[in-house]
Amino acid sequence: MSDERESEREPAADWPVELRGVTESVVATLGPNDRWNFAALGVHAPAVGDAGDENGDAPASTPSPPATATTWGNTRTRRNFHRQGGGIVQFVSDPRAFVEAAMTIHERESPVLDSADAWAEVEATRVDSGADGGTEWETWELRPVDAAVERTRPLTINRGFGAVIDATVAASRLDVPAFDTGDLLDRLDYFAETVEKCGGNREREAFARIDELTGWRERAAARRNESF
């Protein structure tokens, strides 16, 4: 893989991991400053039956439908997709890396995180756009052109990891008019309790970073005081 896009693309590659539902990932896109910007990206697996017969079995001559992703708002990822035509989608198991990508402006000179278990260089093609609650969105088809698995290991799951991922979504919607702030603060309180009870050190460190970046606990406490 090269940091620079080549004039002639490599033949299409397979995704290095199984995509199911919406697979959470970190995407690196090259910005106009020649640095790679990292952001969270939900990769939507092709729906079974999008191509092929009624059982979802596609004929050998029928290409599989591509995975998709949606960008919301005028983000760096959206602008870089337009500018560069793709990026590096990577799959990480460290919640701290995910929080940094999802909630900060995180840039580096190299596109693959040390915590990436696998990555895929993708071409991104815009196929739809619209607006929801005053926020513009764009849907992109993602087609891998290169991919690698960096490490294989048994995957262990704790509820704290999932709570961290959901918490980044809730935290990113704070102060967005289309979402109720009180409901979001309640969700964050629930996720915080889940991380404390079920997460490990990495999950607790990741959630502490969310606390630091948003100050949601102070806002929740002020809201409770106002209710008395």
Residue 168's nearest CA partner among 73, 74, 104, 102 is 102
Residue 49: is its pLDDT beyond 80?
Answer: no
- 22-149 and 159-226 share one fold: no
DSSP-assigned beta bridge partners for residue 143: 123
Q: What is the pLDDT of residue 209?
A: 98
Q: What is the CATH number of domain 22-149?
A: 2.30.110.10
Q: What is the arithmetic mean of pLDDT over 214-225?
A: 92
Kindly indicate the confidence band of residue 4, based on its pLDDT and cuts at 50, 70 and 90: very low
What residues does each domain of the chain span?
22-149, 159-226
CATH of the structural domain 159-226, one choice from 1.10.600.10, 1.20.1420.20, 3.40.50.300, 1.20.58.290: 1.20.58.290
DSSP code per residue over 66-86: PEEEEEESS-HHHHHHHHHSE
The pTM for the full model equals 0.85
Give 121-168 pLDDT, tens digit per residue: 999 999 999 999 888 999 999 999 999 999 998 888 899 999 999 999
* Mean pLDDT, the chain, whole residue set: 89
Give 58-107 pLDDT, tens digit per residue: 444 456 789 999 999 999 999 999 999 999 999 999 999 999 999 999 99
Give 163-172 pLDDT, tens digit per residue: 999 999 999 9
Residue 102's nearest CA partner among 72, 132, 136 is 72
Contact 137, 72 (CB under 8 A): yes
Q: What sign does the CA torsion over 71, 72, 78, 82 have?
A: positive
